[in-house]
Amino acid sequence: MQQLQNLKALNPDLTEEAMSRVDEIIDRNKGKPGCLIPVLEECQGVVDYLPMELLEYIGSRLNIPGSTVYGVVTFYSFFTMVPKGRHTIKVCMGTACYVRGIGEVQNRLQSKLNVKVGNTTEDRRFTLEAVRCLGACGLAPVMVVDSVTYGGVSPDSALKIVDKYE
């Protein structure tokens, strides 16, 4: 319990409520072979990202060295160690989307929102991500905001779409 309170002091995002859900996830998976990645996936779903303090906590609870946990988190693109914006824009960098002009869409979003791919705007409104194929090539070029998929986007329409998100 001591450790939990320390965590909250170190990182305000690790609230008691979040940590009790993290504990529940760990208890449910502990001891299963290969449980680290599913645990990390679920914990990221709770906290939105995986801060260093949380990685150390998960490692110690699962008896896995912190270095191994860190190694896994940095290897997979699904995991992030920095907090995300209120909305996540994913531009699909699959081949079909690329051939149909997603590169120009991405450039325009970068310059308009003043953020580089992989980063979050200063006001934490948007995180801009480039993702590998979303598998919706029939609608190329494709952009996803939060969980809504937009097909056939152009630089102009992409800006109009993101305008709708506050």
Partner 1 sequence: MSENNSKAEEIVEEKAEEEEQEKKKEEKVIPYLEDVPFFGLQKLIVLKNKGIDPELIDEYIAKDGYQAAAKALLEMTPEEIIAEMKTSGLRGRGGAGFPTGLKWEFANKSEGDIKYVLCNADEGDPGAFMDRSVLEADPHAILEGMIIAAKAVGAHQGYIYCRAEYPLAIKRLNIAISQATEYGLLGNDIFGSGFDFHLEIYQGAGAFVCGEETALMHSIEGKRGMPRPRPPFPAHQGLWKKPTVLNNVETYANVPQIIFNGGKWYAGIGTETSKGTKVFALTGTVKNIGLVEVPMGTSLRTIIFDIGGGVPKKKKFKAVQLGGPSGGCVSEEFIDTPVDYESIAKVGAIMGSGGMIVMDNQTCMVDMARFFMDFVQDESCGKCTPCREGTRHMLQILEKITRGEGEPGDIDTLEELSEVIKDAALCGLGQTGPNPVLSTLQYFRDEYEAHIFEKRCPAKRCPALLEFEVDEEKCIKCGICFKRCPTEAITWEKKQPAKIDKDKCIKCMTCITNCPSDAIF
Partner 2 sequence: MARLTADGLLKLKEKVKNENALSKDGYTVKITVHLGTCGIAAGGDVVYEALKEEIEESKRDDIKVVISGCAGMCSSEPNVTIGRIGEDAVIYRDLDAEKMRKIFQGHVLGGEILNEYAMARIKEPV
Residue ranges that bind partner 1, judged by CB under 8 A = 33-38, 40-41, 68, 71-72, 75-79, 93-96, 98-101, 104, 107-108, 111, 131-138, 140, 155-156
Is 135 among the residues that bind partner 2 (CB under 8 A)? yes
For position 101 contacting partner 2 by CB under 8 A, the verdict is no
7 or 129: whose CB is closer to partner 1? 129
Task: Single out the residue of 139, 145, 159, 161 in contact with partner 2 (rule: CB under 8 A).
Answer: 139
Do 88 and 146 touch, CB atoms closer than 8 A?
Answer: yes
Of 4, 55, 46, 38, residue with least CA distance to 22: 46
DSSP β-ladder status, 126-131 and 87-92: parallel
Query: What tokens were used for 62?
Result: 């699962």
Determine the angle formed by the axes of helices 36-47 and 66-75, rounding to 10 degrees: 70
Per CB under 8 A, which region of 83-91, 103-111, 122-130, 149-157 contacts partner 2?
149-157
Site membership for partner 2, residue 164 (CB under 8 A): no
Residue whose C-alpha is closest to residue 101's, from 154, 151, 159, 161: 154
Interface positions with partner 2 (CB under 8 A):
134-139, 142, 149-151
